[in-house]
Chains A and B, each alone.
Chain A
Amino acid sequence: MAEKCEVVSQTGMEIAIIEKKMETRIEKQHRIIGAEFMPDENLSTKGNVMNKIETKNVQCWYGDFHVLRDVSISVEPNTVTALIGPSGCGKSTYLRVFNRMNDLIDGFKLEGDVLIDGKDIYDKNIRVNELRKNVGMVFQKPNPFPKSIFENVAYGLRVNGVTDKKLIADTVERSLKQAAVWNEVKDNLHKNALGLSGGQQQRLCIARAIAVQPSVILMDEATSALDPISTGKIEDLIADLKKDYTILIVTHNMQQALRVSDKTAFFFLGDMIEYNDTKEIFNNPQHEHTRNYVGGRFG
């Protein structure tokens, strides 16, 4: 009570200072779980720091199978980039390059540079766990853990050693709100997440990903298993998340690419054929393959 009175008696200027202090405190808290995936002193910055993500001549193999050839792309911060193309042409592989998920596959090999914030994420000094906190992922099929809704979102914080109950509870609430699922689950936070509908599960997975404060979010056909209403909700959400995150999506839904993305990359049999503003890709494709694919998909 006394504290409140004091704040009320402050002048506007002082209040501003207090707010500033609180902001830095919150920032520090974020730092605890945040994005320091790389010991800065060990690495020089290679790319153009204006780009959030950059790949240069990326090549990938599964054993002997050459799955991606010479993919070079730069992505600006706070944009949505869509990866499109026929099945099996390497979109998922490319997406999983950015959180090094392919490392889990025996025989996977990568050449070329993959830069996030100008830093090579395949450098040997990189801490892959930290990288994965910075680069969140949402999968094709919703994959909540068989735990409560609350524990699903808290999971990323707990494995990062966060024990402060209040910080966890606040982050869970904020993440669920940001993922536009809070109102539907707020009275059932301690119920098992497997009881939610597919669309709710997928938004829960988005909340789970953003709870650890990544700066990049990867979504691999995140709406392909969902009904149109849930899909619409997630598309709105992507547009909203763009303010805070750089987003890469894989989609087979051309309308979706057109609605949510700023840039689009067209993949075909392991090659990135065309990369441009989304409107250009759809209205004025330069390559025949792109024209056929986009045209066929709309037709």
Chain B
Amino acid sequence: MEMNTKEKIIEGLLFACAAICVLTTLGIVAVLVIQSVQFFSEVPLKDFLTDTQWTPLFADKHFGILPLLSGTFLTTIIAITIALPIGLTTAIYLSEYASNTFRSTVKPVLEILAAIPTVVYGYFALTVVTPFLQIIFPSLSGFNAISPGIVMGLMIVPLISSLSEDALYAVPKSLREGSYALGSTKLQTAFRVLIPAASSGIIVSVILAVSRALGETMIVAIAAGQQPRLTFDPRVPIETVTTYIVQVSGGDVPHGSLEYKTIFSAGLSLFVITLILNNISFFIKKKYREQYE
């Protein structure tokens, strides 16, 4: 009886913890949705999705989300273009070529890259990478998309390399042996057997890295310039969804005003995109489990 009550209490506590998580998430979504509904009662959804300017803080107000989305996607694409080849090559090297001791030292060191505060990366982009790129491309503005994109790419390399390496390493030894026994080289085995066999794990790692890049705030806030602009030119200043939110919430926009509500509509857009990505990744993981069990 005594035991039973204890069990009940513990169960209750565990449930409370889980409930707090779920309720917090629901609360955040509710706030996003409620504020956004109010926003969309004043700004038509069509303008929001098609207007090519985002100037809520100016006298001539425009509420087109596209410039923020283009900035977000541009920096994310640059980051993934950098991170995917480097991350995947690192993963192949670590899982197929490196010795065990090398792998077990390098992997944690790589993961430190992900632990550096992003503000440090931001200033690295602004004060090191941008001046360096300006030597090569003199027309580059002091604030631009390419420099924070590259630095963000370096930051997410470990995300891709670490998860992809786990996926490659988990490919059964029998497949490697089968491939070597047919006379293929290490490189052929890696590219023709291991990567396809580990593809779902690799895709999941890339989706995670994309979500991380979409949501990254500090690096772009520091080095990209905070100027909403519908462009895919990486040399000019841009603004991303997250940096806009930071800019407005840190500023002196009155609570409850339309300007204030823009940050919820922008936040909701980002939330929808990340939610879709998460679902894709969940779907791939589920399919992957079915295949190997």
Contacts and interface: CB of A to CB of B under 8 A. Distances in A.
Interface of A: 99, 101, 104, 129-133, 136-137, 139, 141, 143-147, 155-156, 158-160, 194, 205, 208-209, 212
B172 A143 contact: yes
Contacts of A158: 192
Contacts of A155: 179, 182, 184, 192-193
B175 to A, nearest CB: 6
A93 to B, nearest CB: 14
Interface in B170-197: 172, 174-175, 177-185, 188, 192-193, 196-197
Interface of A is mostly: helix
B291 interface: yes
B188 A101 contact: no
Contacts of A132: 180-183
Nearest to A140: B174
A195 B185 CA distance: 27
Interface of B: 172, 174-175, 177-185, 188, 192-193, 196-197, 291
A269 B88 CA distance: 44
B197 A130 contact: no
A139 B183 contact: no
27 contacts: A104-B180, A129-B183, A129-B184, A129-B185, A130-B183, A132-B180, A132-B181, A132-B182, A132-B183, A133-B182, A133-B183, A136-B181, A139-B174, A139-B177, A139-B178, A139-B181, A143-B172, A143-B177, A144-B178, A145-B178, A145-B193, A145-B197, A156-B184, A159-B185, A160-B183, A208-B178, A212-B182
Contacts of A143: 172, 174-175, 177-178
B253 to A, nearest CB: 54
Contact of A194 (B182, B185, B291): B291
Contacts of B193: 145, 155
Contacts of A104: 177, 180
